[in-house]
Amino acid sequence: MAYAGVSSAADATEGDRSQTAHRLTYVLLGVLAVAMLASLAIGASGTSLWQALWDVARGAELSLRDRVVLFDIRLPRTLMAAAVGAALAVSGAMMQGLFRNPLADPGLIGVSAGAGFGAIVAIVLGGMLPLALSDALGYCLVPVAAFLGSWATTLILYRVSTRKGRTSVATMLLAGIGLGALTGAVSGILIYIADDAQLRTLTFWGMGSVAGATWSKFWTAVPLIAAAILTIPFIARGLNGLALGEAAASHMGIDVQRTKNVAILAVAAAVGAAVAVSGGIGFVGIVVPHLLRLAVGPDHTYLLRNSALLGAALLLVADIISRMIIAPAELPIGIIMAVIGGPFFLWILLRRRGIVDM
Amino acid sequence: MLKAENITVSFGRREVLHDVSFAAKPGALTAIVGPNGSGKTTLLKAMIGEVAHGGTVRLNDVDIARAKPWELAAMRGVLPQATPLAFPFTVAEVVRLGLMNGTSGGKTQLVPAALARVGLGGYAARYYQELSGGEQQRVQLARVLTQVWEPTQDGAPRWLFLDEPVSALDIGHQLLVMQIARDFADAGGGVVAVMHDLNLTAMYADEVALISDGRVLAQGASEAVFTDDLLSKAYHCRVQVNTTPRSGTFLLPHVAQAGAA
């Protein structure tokens, strides 16, 4: 009786990479810890992390200078780079799962542009808000506006490019270009009418950097990013199901609509927060999930959390390079990521050619 | 029991199913046959809640329009015609997705068992995207089987909905897959399959619904439905039904010269 029971002695885990993916999480935790320590230790000033740690261990008082360098400059910058890296990588992985396409990246298809649009609106027009509202939002105004911008963009993109559970990549990219042109035009008008102080803010913001990290910036971004990361256990299964298409996912018991709603909100929150505090940093969301899929497979249960860890570590390393390469000056981290990510993206395209019809 | 009543489906302004009623029993393999564009796949999709429709569908006395996806997933598995996959999953990882709904939950030993069942033992570590269409279809069948591994649960039948399950397969694997469906029904489960191949249908199905132009032309035991008149009428060509004395099953050679009705 074939259905009575399973007597097969075959290895139940053959071809199943989930255990490897699970173990990789611990490795990546270690990598992230090392990257964070390095980020704390390396900098333009002569302050030595090790000396400071030794001083604290001896019970000696830290100098004011060392305290400022370590706790008010390097620590918020380190934590913010990690948070932004995690946010970008996770949102990339989620978006790819949602659109069922490994090339969907918030930076490429205009979600970051939508977030940037929200941020520009907030910076230029924020002064026109009723005082009570702008007081209540305070530092959060820009991230919240960026979140709304990326949310609207993601929703529109998904609506436009998905028919019957199948996403057309061509439509998605073209819709991204269309939306990008529109938001770019309106952003241009806003920049045109901005005053000098606002222009300064916009310029620094738009350079794509975590150099200006402060605790207040960090704390405005972290709630949104944390919220996005906390959705991982709730949508990982759903995104796995969606890999087979919306109908098949539903037949497997997935609440497809809820998965999509949560994923879109999480992507918008993560991208909005990341763009609001760091400007546009591209390619993290495409490089990190792609490498992880190659290494341990596309199961979102592990892909999403590993993406968070590897994304954080990658951005920390890129930030360290940006500080060292032309020290004491700094190269914007967006340039470093573009130099790494651009060729990587082309490589993915070459690899996919002939395997899958784009 | 599967009971679909007064099913009406329209695509835009065109009505493709007109007030169709259909029933299937557990313990039986019920085939839906009919010419291209007759609405047989649409009927299947209406019964699994994939297309909007008028009328009601009740599966084991549950109104499927009101059931949650996970409740339905515990009752029935659905094999689509083709399933392209977005990411480089291995064969084992695709089949393991069938364990998600919780009723087969965590029983990872079902994965190699299901693969062996569909004749894909040894394929576990291969990449799904690199397989042929027929192999992919059998991987998907293995995934669906892990989802509803036991044909009955707490005395209630479970169901397999198969949309042209053998369309991409060679004859050997056609027989293998039909036998899997047959075994599932014999063990108390219900099977509803959209079929193109009338010979295979005649060999394996207990009940047949013949659809033509969005209506049920006939439903009943396959001997009653597979008659020269009904088939000729449905397929708009002359069809002759023969029986072979050896096995008792009947064959349907394409005897008609085109147009000679």
Structure token pair of residue A295 = 């290494």
Question: Is A253–B72 a contact, with Cβ atoms under 8 angstroms apart?
Answer: yes
- Cα separation, A95 vs A101, whole angstroms: 8
Residue B258 in any domain: the answer is: no
Q: What's the pLDDT tens digit per position in A308-335?
A: 999 999 999 999 988 888 777 778 888 8
Q: What are the φ/ψ torsions at residue B219 (nearest 5 degrees)?
A: -140, 135
Complex-level ipTM: 0.90
- Is the separation of the CB atoms in B179 and B165 below 8 Å? no
Nearest CA in chain B to A98: B86
Residues of A in contact with B84 (CB under 8 A): 245
Q: What is the mean pLDDT of residues A337-342?
A: 84
Q: What's the pLDDT tens digit per position in A104-139?
A: 888 777 888 888 888 888 888 877 766 666 666 666
DSSP E strand stretches across chain A: 162-163, 166-167
Q: What is the mean pLDDT of residues B137-144?
A: 95
Diameter over CA atoms, chain B: 58
Enumerate domains of chain A plus CATH numbers.
63-351 (1.10.3470.10)
Indicate if the pLDDT at residue B248 is higher than 70. Answer: no
Give me the pLDDT at residue A165, please. 59
Residue B142 in any domain: the answer is: yes
Residue of A103, A251, A307 to mutate, interface with B, max B Cβ within 10 Å: A251
Lowest mean pLDDT, pick from A100-109, A145-154, A160-169, B245-254: B245-254
Give the range of the structural domain holding residue B102, as residue numbers without chain letter.
2-251
Going by pLDDT thresholds of 50, 70 and 90, the confidence category of residue A357 is very low
Give me the pLDDT at residue A3, please. 42
Residue B39 in any domain: the answer is: yes
Number of domains in chain B: 1
Residue B144 in any domain: the answer is: yes
Residue B157 in any domain: the answer is: yes
Residue of A1, A3, A303 to mutate, interface with B, max B Cβ within 10 Å: A3
Q: What is the mean pLDDT of residues A292-299?
A: 90
Give me the pLDDT at residue A137, please. 64
Q: What's the pLDDT tens digit per position in A191-233?
A: 888 888 888 777 767 666 677 778 888 888 898 899 999 999 9
Lowest mean pLDDT, pick from A242-246, A267-271, A342-346, B14-18: A342-346
> Which residues lie across from B208 on neighbouring strands?
B31, B220
Residue B175 in any domain: the answer is: yes
Residue B30 in any domain: the answer is: yes
